[in-house]
């Protein structure tokens, strides 16, 4: 069953470290069998006040094991994730795909 990382990010300091984070995290997502479904600011906010000015990132992985291999992997946690330190506020969660009924 597919698994997803859903992140809502408020970038306050898009510096060189953040640019490197974007590049390297993308490489690791693909290496873990993942792909980006959504990546960027909203085209249009339809309702609410939380999302304006924020980025949404939805990454799809073949299963939760592959997702955890990326998100909990040594390379991401120790080499890539630290690159975004001090660049903003991040809300990140993992979800499994809903079962068809």
- pTM: predicted TM-score of the whole model, two decimal places: 0.91
pLDDT in the model for residue 100: 75
**Inter-helix orientation angle 16-31/64-71, to 10°:** 150
In a domain, 41, yes or no: yes
User: 3-state DSSP call for residue 18?
Assistant: helix
Residue 98 lies in a domain: no
Question: What range does the domain containing 75 cover?
Answer: 13-86
pLDDT for the residue numbered 61: 98
Q: What is the DSSP string of 25-65?
A: HHHHHHHTT-EEEEEEE-S---S-SSSTT-EEEEEEESSHH
What is the mean pLDDT of each successive set of 10 residues along the chain, which is 101 residues long? 98 96 97 97 94 96 98 98 97 93 75
Report the domain count for the chain. 1
Residue 95 lies in a domain: no
> Looking at residue 33, which CATH number applies to its domain?
3.30.70.100
């Amino acid at each position: 069953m597919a698994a997803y990382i859903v992140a809502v990010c408020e970038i306050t300091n898009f510096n060189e470290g953040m640019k490197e984070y974007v590049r390297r995290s993308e490489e690791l997502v693909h290496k873990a069998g993942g792909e980006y479904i959504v990546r960027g600011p909203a085209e249009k906010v339809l309702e609410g006040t939380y999302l304006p000015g924020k980025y949404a990132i939805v990454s799809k992985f073949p299963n939760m094991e592959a997702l955890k291999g990326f998100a909990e992997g040594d390379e991401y946690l120790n080499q890539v994730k630290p690159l975004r330190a001090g660049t903003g506020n991040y809300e990140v969660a993992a979800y499994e795909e809903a079962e068809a009924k």
